[in-house]
Amino acid sequence: MNLLVSTDWLAAEMGKSDLRIIDATIFLPAHARSARAEFEGAHIPGAVFFDIEEVSDTSSNLPTMLPPAEKFASRCQALGLGDGSRIVVYDNSPLKSSARLWWMLSLFGAHEVAILDGGLAKWQAESRPLESGKPIVRHRHFTVWADKALVRDQSQMSENLRTKAEQVVDARSSGRFTGAEPDPRPGVRPGHMPGSKNLPYSEAFNADGTWKSPAELKALFDGLGIDLAKPLVATCGSGITAPVLAFAAALLGNTKVAVYDGSWSEWGASAHNPVVVGA
């Protein structure tokens, strides 16, 4: 199974016993929309809803931080996601949140995970079938595992300022990166980490929400002087859109891009962390 699958491919594979489909839509409060309610109103047949906000470290004061491995495995089992499943993730979110779940599943040990190109919007635009309501699923075993090589914390990012061992790419908008726009979170300074490069996650997509071609994605990284053959860490506002850049890199052959989970909501909130304002 490819990392990125088409609606044609999914339609042909639908109903196979090892295939699992997940809706990973998440909205910000400003969107004034309920991802779960919209899922129950209409979703791809056979899909289950993965609540990224609930399946997080709810003890943290930071948003949507990675949950303990045991919690993640438990939620996956309850959704019928098990060892050996082929998993296709989609979303209907302006945040392209299927990439966040792709990254989480990869980190927590799922081996075959793909993203549906174009998501629910493309599926609907092609007048493909939908269903509504809450799905009934059978529990399956999901092994507890976590590959911490795919995640970075604040201390590791601080150390990287000294060593410069890893390139850092920021998925936020250019206005938030430069500090021209205030951060939407109270108490979080505008700007970016010293030495980081800015690649807004939205630039990875065509106007219809499908992913840009590998050549176009490579040109985006090349334009910033990022070498995809070398270690790379992606960051953003709260860890939701950074995985878009990790997935783009994976499409180009680098499947080991790490994500700074706390991202700017953590870094910019600390008065001790250096912040650069400007391009």
CATH no. for residue 110?
3.40.250.10
pLDDT for 38-65, tens place per residue?
999 999 999 999 999 999 999 999 999 9
DSSP letter for 169, please: E
Percent of the chain surpassing pLDDT 90: 97
Q: Indicate if 48 and 157 belong to the same structural domain.
A: no
Using alpha carbons, list the distances in angstroms from residue 91 to 10, 29, 59, 159, 210: 14, 17, 26, 35, 12
Q: 273 in a domain, yes or no?
A: no
- Once rounded to an integer, what is the mean pLDDT over residues 170-174? 98
> Does residue 174 sit in the same domain as residue 94?
no
- If asked whether residues 108 and 184 sit together in one domain, one would say no
Residue 276 lies in a domain: no
Q: What is the 3-state secondary structure (H, E, C) of 79-115?
A: CCCCCCCEEEEECCCCCCCHHHHHHHHHHCCCCEEEE
Residues involved in catalysis = 236
The pLDDT score that the predictor gives to residue 134 is 92
Same domain, 9 and 114: yes
Residue 198 belongs to a domain:
yes
Residue 47 lies in a domain: yes
Q: Percentage of residues in the chain with pLDDT exceeding 70?
A: 100
142 and 154 in a common domain: no
128 in the same domain as 10? yes
Asked whether residue 29 falls in the same domain as residue 128, the answer is: yes
pLDDT tier at 279, thresholds 50, 70, 90: confident
- Give me the pLDDT at residue 209, please: 97
Instruction: Say yes or no: 128 and 205 in one domain.
Output: no
Say if residue 139 is in the same domain as residue 90.
Answer: yes
Is it the case that residue 140 has pLDDT exceeding 90? yes
Instruction: Indicate the average pLDDT of the chain.
Output: 96
pLDDT at 69: 97
- DSSP, collapsed to helix, strand or coil, labels residue 228 as coil
pLDDT of residue 83 exceeding 90, the answer is yes
The verdict on 140 and 157 lying in the same domain is no
Predicted pLDDT at 33: 96
pLDDT at residue 150 is higher than 90: yes
Query: Is the entire prediction scored with pTM above 0.95?
Result: yes
Which pLDDT score, from 0 to 100, does residue 200 have? 98
Is residue 275 a part of any domain in this protein?
no
Q: Find the farthest-apart pair of alpha carbons in the chain and give their distance in angstroms, rounded.
A: 53
Mean pLDDT of 66-94: 96
Instruction: Among 146, 174, 205, give the residue marking a domain's end.
Output: 146
User: Is the domain of 78 the same as that of 189?
Assistant: no
Range of the domain at 263: 149-267
Placement of tokens 């493909």 in the chain: 128
Residue 277 lies in a domain: no
pLDDT at 230 over 90: yes
- Residue showing tokens 């334009």: 223
Give the model's pLDDT for residue 30.
87
Residues 178 and 87 in one domain: no
Q: How many structural domains does the chain have? A: 2
Tens-digit pLDDT profile for residues 182-217 = 999 999 999 999 999 999 999 999 999 999 999 999
